[in-house]
């Protein structure tokens, strides 16, 4: 980690848009804290407490962490996460909090020692407070509050849409973007969710059309397709069947659902292969922590439509969390069953809805517990 100036080592990320706050925090850590230094060079202090004593402990830990060297790491990054003495009015008015909070404020004003970084995230903070002013004067403030005018909210939503489209490997023409935001609104979490649904609906990357927008965000059954695919990945059979019947009742076509499931199975199968071969391990920040890979594996990853090493951590963490619920054997069987079912959907005289439901029950283990991970590959 290195800072260009004093103003680059104190960061306040605030606002009610918790999705963007979380993304900014994650990206800042990824940029400033090398993965190999996180065990000793990153300290996370959880400020989500409900007593004055606990608040005082958080403040003391934060002050101490900023002054002490990182163990086995030359730099130190301290994340003070949602401190209650800022967001909670009752705790923030406590006389006991004022002195240690003033000490932290003065530390920020004076500038942190070289190699020290402080990031504070909070859903709300008084703009007139000394702490906010200290960050604003001596560091960086990234505000994702909702107290904006309509045109400001729209511009922020456009910026987020531009940022998130490459994450899900989708493209939109100008008029399609306007149509999308007009239907979805300006909330970043919903924008990200709807884009993920669009990708699932399309069965992968590509250019979004007007027809896609009208189907996905019109309030029809396909608007729930993400929940359907997610339930499959999580091996939640009761929820999967509930979502399936809801979609079929809203005239969703079984072949389109089958194609979306095939795309998800292929993603999970590739990740499970990576984990089984110990090419990477699950990581809470990036989704996967990669080990050195041989040339043939590097070529295989690079040749994929989407290289997992370049996938945004938001998507990758979701896929990894689902992949670990499966074995390679089960995923291969699920893929076989889906391919077999697709042929039957085209050629069989049996009801398509029945074929799809039977396939899903078989794929998730029939009478076995759908959430129980079996051993072995």
Which residues of the chain carry a pLDDT beneath 70? 1-7, 69-73, 146-150, 217-224, 366-377
Residue 99, both tokens: 């002195």
Site of tokens 């389109």: 256
User: What is the spatial distance between Cα 305 and Cα 144, in angstroms, rounded to a whole number?
Assistant: 33
Question: What pLDDT shows up at residue 219?
Answer: 43
**Where are the extended beta strands (E) located within the chain?**
10-14, 42-46, 76-81, 116-122, 140-143, 170-171, 206-207, 280-283, 287-290
Question: What pLDDT shows up at residue 225?
Answer: 76
Task: Output 160-165 pairs: Cβ under 8 A, ≥24 positions apart.
Answer: 160/20, 160/188, 160/191, 161/191, 161/195, 164/188, 164/191, 164/192, 164/195, 165/195
Question: What pLDDT shows up at residue 369?
Answer: 38
Question: What pLDDT shows up at residue 72?
Answer: 58
CB 23, CB 314: distance < 8 Å: yes
Task: List, in sequence order, every residue forming a beta bridge with 10; answer none if it has no partner.
Answer: 118
Question: What pLDDT shows up at residue 367?
Answer: 35
End-to-end CA distance of the chain: 40
Question: What pLDDT shows up at residue 375?
Answer: 40
Q: What is the largest CA-CA distance in the chain?
A: 77
At residue 10, the 3 state secondary structure works out as: strand
Question: What pLDDT shows up at residue 146?
Answer: 59
Residue 47: HSE in the Cβ half-sphere, 13 Å Cα cutoff: 25
User: What is the spatial distance between Cα 343 and Cα 335, in angstroms, rounded to a whole number?
Assistant: 13
At residue 12, the 3 state secondary structure works out as: strand
Domains of the chain and CATH, by start = 8-143 (3.40.50.300), 150-218 (1.10.8), 237-363 (1.20.272.10)
User: What is the spatial distance between Cα 216 and Cα 235, in angstroms, rounded to a whole number?
Assistant: 24
Task: List, in sequence order, every residue forming a beta bridge with 120; answer none if it has no partner.
Answer: 12, 80
Return the closest-CA partner of residue 105 out of 68, 82, 125, 132: 132
Q: Find all residues with CB under 8 Å of 68, minimum gap 6, and list them.
A: 76
Handedness of CA 50, 51, 56, 61 (dihedral sign): negative
CB 290, CB 279: distance < 8 Å: yes
pTM score: 0.60
| DSSP labels, 261-318 | HHHHHHHHHHHHHHHHTTSEEEETTTEEEEPP--HHHHHHHHHSSS-GGGS-HHHHHH
CB 267, CB 304: distance < 8 Å: no
């Amino acid at each position: 980690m290195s800072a260009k100036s004093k103003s680059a080592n104190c960061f306040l990320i605030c606002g009610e848009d918790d999705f963007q706050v979380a993304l900014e925090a994650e990206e800042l850590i990824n940029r400033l804290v090398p993965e190999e230094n996180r065990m000793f060079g990153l300290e996370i202090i959880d400020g989500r407490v409900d007593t004055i004593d606990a608040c005082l402990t958080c403040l003391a830990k934060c002050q101490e962490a900023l002054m002490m060297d990182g163990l086995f790491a030359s730099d130190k990054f301290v994340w003070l996460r949602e401190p209650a003495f800022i967001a909670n009015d009752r705790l923030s008015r406590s006389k006991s909090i004022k002195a240690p909070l003033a000490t932290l404020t003065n530390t920020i004003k004076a500038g942190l020692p070289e190699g020290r970084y402080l990031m504070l995230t909070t859903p709300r903070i008084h703009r007139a407070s000394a702490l906010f002013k200290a960050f604003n004067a001596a560091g960086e403030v990234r505000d994702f509050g909702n107290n904006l005018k309509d045109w400001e909210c729209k511009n922020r939503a456009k910026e987020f849409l531009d940022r998130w489209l490459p994450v899900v490997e989708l493209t939109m023409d100008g008029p399609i973007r306007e149509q999308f935001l007009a239907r979805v609104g300006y909330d970043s979490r919903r924008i990200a969710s709807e884009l993920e649904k669009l990708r699932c609906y399309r069965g992968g990357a590509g250019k979004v059309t007007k027809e896609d927008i009208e189907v996905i965000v019109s309030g029809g059954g396909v608007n729930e397709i993400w929940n359907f695919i997610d339930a499959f990945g999580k091996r939640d059979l009761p929820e999967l069947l509930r979502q399936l019947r809801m979609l079929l009742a809203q005239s969703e076509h079984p072949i389109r659902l089958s194609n979306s499931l095939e795309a998800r199975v292929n993603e999970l199968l590739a990740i499970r292969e990576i984990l089984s071969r110990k090419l990477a391990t699950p990581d809470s920040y990036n989704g996967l922590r990669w080990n050195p890979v041989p040339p043939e594996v590097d070529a295989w990853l690079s040749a994929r439509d989407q290289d997992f090493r370049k996938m945004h951590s938001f998507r990758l963490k979701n896929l990894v969390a689902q992949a670990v619920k499966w074995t390679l054997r089960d995923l291969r069987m699920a893929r076989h069953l889906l391919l077999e079912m697709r042929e039957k959907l085209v050629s069989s005289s049996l009801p398509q809805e029945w074929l799809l439901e039977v396939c899903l029950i078989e794929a998730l283990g029939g009478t076995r517990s759908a959430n129980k991970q079996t051993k072995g590959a």
